[in-house]
Amino acid sequence: MTDPDGPVRRPHVLILGGTTEARRLAAGLADRLPGLRVTTSLAGRVAAPRLPAGEVRIGGFGGPDGLAHWLREHAVDALIDATHPFAGTISFNAAQAAATAHVPLLALRRPGWVPEPGDTWHPVASLSEAAAALPTLGHRVFLTTGRMGLAAFAHLTDLWFLVRSVDAPDPPFPPRMEALLDRGPFTLEGERALLRDHRIDVLVTKDSGAAATAPKLTAAREAGVPVVVVRRPETPQDVPTAESPAEAMAWVCDRFA
């Protein structure tokens, strides 16, 4: 395939994105290594995504083989899986595709949240386990696990839900529900007001680990509201990992600066 750079080929890094960290990394690389070609891939779930610096492609690759093909066809020199900790499938696809195409892979994974004194956390393994735990914990639920997977809560007809998501949820969802369309970062003041104004008595969250969405945990602690925390899914073993965009930048700089 023809290289868009013409005769001078720039090293090409593909970032699997959809997170704040992926956007920060793309911006940092554009700033620090202007000689690098950086493409970010988005799944296309959000109608109007925040676009990162550099090139962007949108949509699935067609499984690990499709991704391996893309890596070869676009002469990718390094792959960074900066997807959300709950995007389990694409991370396994990335590990398999990188091995097939012989492209070095780095996973950029923010650390999970850690409970603090005063927190009442109920860790669960899945959204269905979260739904099963809810009736004994409260009646007015602040559900922050996103618009996908609301079907797991649809049978909870006695509970009231405040559902926060970027795009409007599609049914099936719980019958007694208010949708709040918003995206982070969120402030502690704002989260306190939401809990108070909606008389929330239980919060449900994934262990996303992001600073931008952590204030809800502080607000819940202050208000004595229990938190159902969905644990992270498995990720592929033996993939080198960075915990921050700065660490991932250093990994790229080691190779291409």
Residues within the interface to ligand NAP (CB under 6 A): 16-19, 41-43, 45, 60-63, 66-67, 83-84, 86-90, 93, 146, 206
Q: What is the DSSP string of 22-39?
A: HHHHHHHHHHH-TTSEEE
Q: Which is nearer to ligand NAP, 87 or 150 (CB)?
A: 87
**Min CB(173)–ligand NAP separation in Å:** 16
**Min CB(43)–ligand NAP separation in Å:** 4
Residue 131: other Cβ atoms inside 10 A: 24
**Min CB(10)–ligand NAP separation in Å:** 21
Q: What is the DSSP string of 202-257?
A: EEEEE----GGGTHHHHHHHHHT--EEEEPPPP--TT--EESSHHHHHHHHHHHH-
Q: Which residue is nearest to ligand NAP (CB)?
A: 60
Q: Tell me, what DSSP letter sits at residue 159?
A: S
Report the alpha-carbon distance of residue 124 to residue 119 in Å, rounded: 15
**Min CB(157)–ligand NAP separation in Å:** 25
Q: What is the DSSP string of 39-89?
A: EEEE-S-SSSPPPPSSEEEES--SHHHHHHHHHHHTT-SEEEE---TT-HH
Residue 91, helix vs strand vs coil: helix
Q: Which is nearer to ligand NAP, 23 or 160 (CB)?
A: 23
Q: Which is nearer to ligand NAP, 175 or 233 (CB)?
A: 233
**Min CB(164)–ligand NAP separation in Å:** 12
Tokens matching residue 251: 């990994």
Report the alpha-carbon distance of residue 95 to residue 91 in Å, rounded: 6
Task: Say if residues 61 and 68 touch (Cβ distance below 8 Å).
Answer: no
Q: Which is nearer to ligand NAP, 58 or 193 (CB)?
A: 58
**Min CB(253)–ligand NAP separation in Å:** 23
Q: Which is nearer to ligand NAP, 119 or 207 (CB)?
A: 207
Q: Which is nearer to ligand NAP, 213 or 226 (CB)?
A: 213
**Min CB(6)–ligand NAP separation in Å:** 27
Tokens matching residue 60: 């699935």
Q: Which is nearer to ligand NAP, 107 or 141 (CB)?
A: 107
